[in-house]
Amino acid sequence: MKRIITLSAVLGLVSGFSAQAADPVTEAINQAYGPYRAALFRTNSKAQAESEQAMAQAQQTWKSVIDRFAAKPPIPYDRDPDFSVTLNEVVKVYEQAAGEIAARKLPEAHETLEKARDLMAEMRRRNGVIVFSDHMNAYHSEMEHVLQQGPGLTTAPQGMLALAERAGVMAYLAGKLRSEAPKALMNDAEFGAALQALEASVAALRKAVTNQDAAAARDALGKLKGPYSKMFLKFG
């Protein structure tokens, strides 16, 4: 029997493992990040009704962040002149994505929602805040680059050498996921299994490239996204 994951189950997964933050703004954004991840997951899986529900939940939780902090953010965001501007830029991204979901353009909505991740990360960066999600984002960025360029590199002159370099970067970033994970996550058996699956997918690519096996490299490339997506949904 095909297993059906309800929206409430997805939100339960993503809300229970947000990293603890040292300030109320970052903590609130971490809490709002769970519904956002659910919206990303649903639009990527082309689930129309579930995408609509997840998007509505993401908009609602982000509105609570704005209501609480936009007018007067506490430290360390209190000296950021673009703080409220960024919060409202996320609102615009959500509104655009919601419109695309309503028009049944789920792939476009998924791409639109990716912009919100960058906005949140940049706001934290300029205010000196680092959370585990930033390490997940760094890995994701490199993974997307490898997925786009990797298949062509397997047949290009000196391409396997270039792919080996990119695979090395991915291995380094995967290592950061382990070294920078909060203790609560490292003590969670499900997180450990998810991280091991991600590490194994990178190791398979590096092995294929080391062996100069183009067919195995293409197979490994096709198996990178699954482990990351599962880990991102619950722990990212």
Percent of the chain with pLDDT over 90: 84
The answer to whether residues 233 and 9 touch, using CB atoms and an 8 Å cutoff, is: no
Domains of the chain, first to last: 7-126 (1.20.120), 132-235 (1.20.120.290)
Q: Does residue 232 have a pLDDT over 70?
A: yes
What are the phi and psi torsion angles at 213 (to 5°)? -105, 95
For 197-214, the pLDDT digits (tens) are: 999 999 999 999 999 999
On the CB side of 187, how many CA atoms lie within 13 Å of its CA? 4
pLDDT for residue 236: 79
The answer to whether residues 38 and 58 touch, using CB atoms and an 8 Å cutoff, is: yes
Return the HEC string of 93-105. Answer: HHHHHHHHHHCCC
Q: Give dist(CA 22, CA 33) in Å, integer.
A: 16
For 84-102, the pLDDT digits (tens) are: 999 999 999 999 999 999 9
Please enumerate, as own/partner, the contacts of 74-80 that have beta carbons within 8 Å and a separation of 24 or more: 74/23, 74/24, 74/25, 75/23, 76/23, 76/127, 76/128, 76/129, 77/23, 77/25, 77/123, 77/127, 80/123, 80/126, 80/127
The answer to whether residues 91 and 66 touch, using CB atoms and an 8 Å cutoff, is: yes
Q: Give dist(CA 173, CA 7) in Å, integer.
A: 30
Q: Give dist(CA 75, CA 23) in Å, integer.
A: 7
For 152-179, the pLDDT digits (tens) are: 999 999 999 999 999 999 999 999 999 9
For 18-75, the pLDDT digits (tens) are: 344 569 999 999 999 999 999 998 998 888 999 999 999 999 999 999 999 999 999 9
Comparing C-alpha atoms, which of 104, 96, 34, 97 is closest to residue 65?
34
Q: Rounded to whole angstroms, what are the CA distances from 161 to 7, 95, 142, 146, 164?
A: 43, 43, 17, 13, 5
Placement of tokens 């490898």 in the chain: 146
